[in-house]
Amino acid sequence: MKTIEKRDEIHEGDLVELGGELYRVERRSNTLPCIAECEMKGIFGKPYCAGFCFRFTNGMRYVFKHASVPAGDYTVVEIRRSIKDKIM
């Protein structure tokens, strides 16, 4: 069963959803550009990046990797506030 947890930050190992796809949050490498690591691409008309990390207060520290739906119960992190509050 899927549980949704609303918060403003994400952490390594968290699961997020966007565009019907499930992604696992992983720490970003300091040696590679985000677009080389993040698998959440091509959403919102951008061929290289979804821009989803900007929605979380600490999102630029992480990248998103495709994940399979876990067996059993799992939690998906959602943004607590609206996107309007996240625009910098």
Contact 52, 60 (CB under 8 A): no
Q: 56, exposed or middle or buried, with CB in 10 Å at 0-12, 13-18, 19+?
A: buried
Alpha-carbon distance 10 to 53, whole Å? 9
pLDDT in tens, 37-74: 999 987 666 778 888 888 888 988 999 999 999 999 99
Judge whether residue 82 has pLDDT over 80. Answer: no
Q: What is the pTM of this model?
A: 0.84
Residue-averaged pLDDT of the chain: 86
Angle 67-34-24 from CA coordinates, rounded to 5°: 15
At residue 88, the pLDDT reads 45
